[in-house]
Amino acid sequence: MIHAYREIYLNNARSVLGDAFDYAINTCRIPGEVFVQLFVASMVSRRMENGEASLLSGKSGVEIAVEVVFETTGKCLEAEPKEHMERSAEYWIGWAVAYYQWYSARRYSDIFKVLTFDDLKKMYYTLHEADITKFVDITEERVREHFKDTNLKRIRTAYGCTQAELAKQSGVSLRSVQMYEQRRKDINKASAETLYGMAKVLGCTIEDLIEK
């Protein structure tokens, strides 16, 4: 499975985004949906998607929230951070979404097109004590329903490889790559040689390309 960046930065990404959401929404009183819009419009979200070490390891969640708001609105957040005995729903939203972004290598803007802040708030009450894989499974299903991408297209796009490049490097015809991605040919019925060739190029396993 291809992830967005190296796993060593994942825990930092989750805690940083969780703290950013908590601070912006609960301390600075920015409406959740508004902060989501500011976050996805900012360069901060792009840098987090790429696992930029200076951002994930060098800044706190409060600093991230301040940077997001200043970049997108020109306003400075000056509210003093508050101590919380327990993690808030807003913290969980940032924490969980950061994990799914790393897991899926999707853009934050695409994730928030599928799940609004209110959707995520509702999910918190049933999922915040569950294993994160439960959140991933539900989110993955909803994202696939929305975008209708095949695993092949999603992984190829995340890898930064064009259809033509994949075809040339894997030995699979360009037409076949296109038809697999359009579901006009069933990738589950492709030969082992075909699947192996594409998986090798994309740095994933054959199982990652199979449609469940």
Q: What is the location of CATH 1.10.260.40 in the chain?
A: 151-209
pLDDT at 148: 79
How far apart CA 186 and CA 168 sit, in angstroms, is 20
Q: Which pLDDT belongs to residue 2?
A: 66
Report if pTM > 0.85.
no
Kindly tell me if the per-residue pLDDT of 144 is higher than 90. no
Please give the Cα distance from 45 to 68 (Å, whole number).
9
Q: Taking residues 97-113, what's their average pLDDT?
A: 92
pLDDT at res. 143: 86
For the cut 90, the answer to whether the pLDDT of residue 4 exceeds it is no
Token representation of residue 171: 């030995």
Chain mean pLDDT for the chain: 93
CATH superfamily, with its number, for domain 151-209: lambda repressor-like DNA-binding domains (1.10.260.40)
pLDDT digits (tens, 9 = 90+) for 34-84: 999 999 999 999 999 989 998 988 899 999 999 999 999 999 998 998 877
Pick the residue with more confidence: 66 or 143?
66
Between 212 and 7, whose confidence is greater? 7
Helices 174-181/163-170 angle, 10° precision: 120
